[in-house]
Chains A and B, each alone.
Chain A
Amino acid sequence: MPYKVEIANTKSNNEFLQKLPKEILPEFAKRLNILGVKPYLGRSVEGPISAYIYAFPLNHMNKVYNFLVSYKINENKEIITITDFGKTIINYS
C-alpha cells in the first residue's frame, strides 16, 4: 500500500498553493503522489530540523517551474506530510 500524502495546514503552505496556476495542479499532484509510492525518494537532511527534500521540474506555458518540497515521513502511520514548498521559475528564451 502506498503511503498517504498529506500537507501541513499552515498559512505559508496555503498561500503557496493558492498562487499556483490551476492548469498545472493535476501534474503537480501526480509528482507529489510519487512520494507515497517511493517515500525515500527525497534527499535526507539531518540536524535541528530533520526532513527530506524532493525537487522536480514542471513545464507550463513556455516556463519551467523547478519545484522543491520538504517532507516528513511517519513510518508507523505510513504518512508523508509536506512541510514546505518552494519554487523557481525559468522562462524559455
Chain B
Amino acid sequence: MKKFNKNAQILKYIIEHLSAKLGRTHLIKLVYLADYHSRRLFGNPVSTFDYYYDKQGPFNKEFYPCVESLKGYVKEEEINFSFYKGYLFHNISKKIEYKQLSQYDLYILDYVINTYGKANLQSLLEDVVYKTEPMLEVVKKRTFKSKLPMDIVDNLDKKHYEGLSPENMVDSEKAIFEGKTQPLEEVLSALQG
C-alpha cells in the first residue's frame, strides 16, 4: 500500500467525507480550521502546514504537491466558469491508511467536517476564517503574504475546561461510544471494598 505523509492523509480524510462538495479554497480552509481548533484545544496543530496571508485568507503553496501526491486516490474535476476555472474534489474508493492521524486529530477533523463542511464558502471565509485571531492579526498589520502567527491561539480553549484535560474528555467520548461505561455506585462501592 502506498504511503502518504500526514498532510496528504488529512486531505484524503476530508475529501472522503465531503466528496464532490469541496473545491481547493474550501479544502485548504478546512485544514486551516482543523489546525486552528486543534491548537486552541490541545496546543498543537493537526497538519504540518504553515499559513500565509493570501488573496482568500490562509494559504500555503505546499498544498498543491500534496494534492498531486493523492492522484489515483482522489479526483480533481476542473469546472470552467465564464471568467475563471474552478475545481471540485471527488473521493476515489481506493483506501489509504490514516496511520499518522491520532484519535485527537480525527476528533478535530470530524468536528471541522461536521461544522464547516457544508457551509457556504463565502460566509465561511467572512464569518469564520477571517475572524480567527491569526487572520485578524495579519489583516490588522496589513502584512500581505506574511506568515500567520498560529501559536497565539495555542491552548486558549483550555481555560473553558478549568484545568480538566481535553485529551481525557476525548478518550471518554470514545469510551462512551464503545459502551465502556460503569454505574457510579458500582465503581465507588468496589473502591470502598
Contact = CB atoms under 8 A, between A and B. Distances in A.
The answer to whether A binds B is yes
Contact of A49 (B173, B185, B193): B173
A22 B180 CA distance: 24
Interface residues on A, range: 35 or more
B106 to A, nearest CB: 12
A83 B171 CA distance: 8
B136 interface: no
A20 B182 CA distance: 18
Contacts of B164: 53, 68-70, 84-86
A88 B162 CA distance: 11
B123 interface: no
Interface string B107-144: 11001000000000000000000000000000000000
Interface string A63-87: 0000011101000000101111110
B39 to A, nearest CB: 11
Nearest to A12: B168
B170 interface: yes
Given A22-B191, A48-B111, A5 B173 contact: no
B170 to A, nearest CB: 7
Interface in A24-51: 25-26, 28-29, 32-33, 45, 47-49, 51
A7 B171 contact: no
Contact of B184 (A33, A86, A88): A33
Contacts of B16: none
A84 B15 CA distance: 33
A51 B187 CA distance: 22
B161 interface: yes
Nearest to B190: A17
Nearest to B157: A47
Contacts of A69: 164
B192 A22 contact: yes
A86 B161 CA distance: 10
A69 B161 CA distance: 9
A8 interface: yes
Nearest to B110: A48
A81 B161 CA distance: 16
B114 to A, nearest CB: 10
A62 interface: no
B170 A49 contact: yes
B163 A47 contact: no
Given A8-B172, A47-B160, A82-B172, 11 more contacts: A7-B182, A8-B180, A10-B172, A29-B188, A47-B157, A53-B161, A68-B163, A69-B164, A81-B181, A84-B169, A85-B164
**Top-3 shortest CB links A-B:** A8-B172, A83-B172, A8-B175
